[in-house]
């Protein structure tokens, strides 16, 4: 590869990028379905735990994701840049290996509950990122529908994570998933709740949920403001100038400019 002339290497890199793009287009729909399925399995695991059959299904999907990522990484012409752009996906594929190697069980045997919860928090973050990517692929235009669907995913995963972190505490305020879902919905709507997380992982997750809630609140506020401004713009009697009024004004300015040019031309040629 290093002995190739620069022109040939550039052409080869371009060809590899084209093949990579074609492969991503072909695998877009299957990977999309598997991503949502993997996300659903993760929520079920946090709430109820997985049966052997569901666990096998999750491992199968994980292996498919590894093969998909490996092929795409092999085809990528700039591998370091590809890893930087997909570092969260890389992390989401590495973490399940800890379960496969029984490292989580070893930590539990050593009574390292905080390490286990830390891994769960990391899994919540990485799985949410995969859900965001899958949603972005299914909804091309990242408009209001994308934000609504993403908020639903964040709420479901956030509630599952909070329930997993807080349920084993004495006098926990989140004794079941329904309560955790209601609590997370209150956080997302910025209304808050009387219960505050008591585990460090729960507090970190609550912090990120609150950040997301404020971001969504700002987006919804801007969307509503744009909607009402557009409605006022369509009304000719509104204070906001509409597109039609601006077009009429531009036409009048153009007509006045033409008249001025005509008068100037007549003054410069009085005999005409």
pLDDT computed for residue 110 by the predictor: 43
Question: All domains of the chain, ordered by start, with CATH?
Answer: 1-138 (1.20.120), 139-240 (1.10.287.70)
Of the pLDDT bands very low, low, confident and very high (cuts 50, 70, 90), residue 2 is low
Greater model confidence, 166 or 143: 166
CB atoms within 10 A of CB 255: 10
Average pLDDT of the residues in 52-69:
89
Cβ atoms of 127 and 157 within 8 Å: the answer is yes
Average pLDDT of the residues in 63-83:
86
Of the pLDDT bands very low, low, confident and very high (cuts 50, 70, 90), residue 115 is very low
Tell me how many helices (H) and strands (E) the chain has.
Answer: 10, 0
Cβ atoms of 271 and 265 within 8 Å: the answer is no
Q: Which helix (H) or strand (E) holds 31?
A: helix 6-47
Cα–Cα dist 258/24, whole Å: 55
pLDDT in tens, 174-198: 889 999 999 999 998 877 777 888 8
Cα–Cα dist 197/203, whole Å: 5
Q: Which residue has the tokens 């050593």?
A: 110
CB atoms within 10 A of CB 194: 7
Burial class (CB in 10 A: 0-12, 13-18, 19+), 208: middle
Cα–Cα dist 9/40, whole Å: 43
DSSP state of 203: H
Cα–Cα dist 13/7, whole Å: 10
Greater model confidence, 241 or 47: 47
CA-nearest of 67, 125, 42, 116 to 91 is 125
Cα–Cα dist 65/134, whole Å: 13
Cβ atoms of 165 and 143 within 8 Å: the answer is no
Contacts of 271 by beta carbon, 8 Å cutoff, 6+ apart: none
CA-nearest of 40, 120, 32, 119 to 68 is 32
Share of the chain above pLDDT 70, in %: 72
Average pLDDT of the residues in 214-235:
73
Of the pLDDT bands very low, low, confident and very high (cuts 50, 70, 90), residue 245 is low
Average per-residue pLDDT in the chain? Answer: 77
Cα–Cα dist 89/92, whole Å: 5
Of the pLDDT bands very low, low, confident and very high (cuts 50, 70, 90), residue 109 is very low
Cα–Cα dist 245/27, whole Å: 49
Strands (E), 60-176: none
pLDDT computed for residue 235 by the predictor: 57
pLDDT in tens, 3-27: 555 557 777 777 777 887 888 778 8
137 vs 42, 132, 219, CA distance in Å?
Answer: 20, 9, 20
pLDDT of 42 strictly over 80: yes
Cβ atoms of 250 and 257 within 8 Å: the answer is no
CB atoms within 10 A of CB 196: 10
């Amino acid at each position: 590869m290093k002995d190739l002339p620069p022109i040939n290497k550039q052409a080869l890199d371009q060809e590899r990028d084209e093949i990579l793009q074609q492969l991503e287009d072909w695998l877009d729909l299957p990977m999309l379905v598997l991503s949502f399925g993997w996300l659903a399995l993760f929520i079920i695991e946090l709430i109820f735990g997985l049966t052997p059959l569901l666990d096998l299904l999750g491992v199968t999907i994980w292996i498919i994701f590894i093969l998909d990522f490996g092929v795409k990484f092999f085809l990528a012409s700039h591998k370091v840049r590809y890893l930087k752009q997909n570092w969260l996906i890389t992390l989401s594929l590495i973490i399940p290996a800890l379960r496969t190697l029984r490292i989580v069980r070893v930590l539990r045997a050593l009574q390292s509950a905080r390490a286990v919860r830390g891994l769960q928090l990391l899994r919540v973050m990485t799985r949410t990122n995969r859900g965001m990517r899958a949603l972005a692929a299914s909804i091309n235009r990242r408009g209001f529908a994308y934000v609504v669907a993403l908020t639903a995913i964040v709420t479901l995963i956030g509630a599952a994570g909070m329930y997993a972190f807080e349920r084993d505490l004495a006098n926990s305020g989140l004794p079941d998933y329904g309560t955790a879902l209601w609590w997370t919905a209150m956080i997302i709507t910025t209304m808050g709740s009387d219960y505050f997380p008591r585990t460090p992982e729960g507090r970190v997750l609550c912090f990120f949920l609150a950040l997301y809630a404020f971001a969504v609140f700002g987006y919804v506020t801007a969307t509503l403001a744009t909607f009402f401004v557009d409605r006022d713009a369509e009304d000719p009697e509104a204070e906001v100038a509409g597109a039609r009024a601006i077009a009429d004004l531009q036409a009048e300015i153009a007509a006045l400019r033409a008249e001025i040019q005509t008068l100037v031309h007549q003054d410069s040629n009085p005999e005409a």
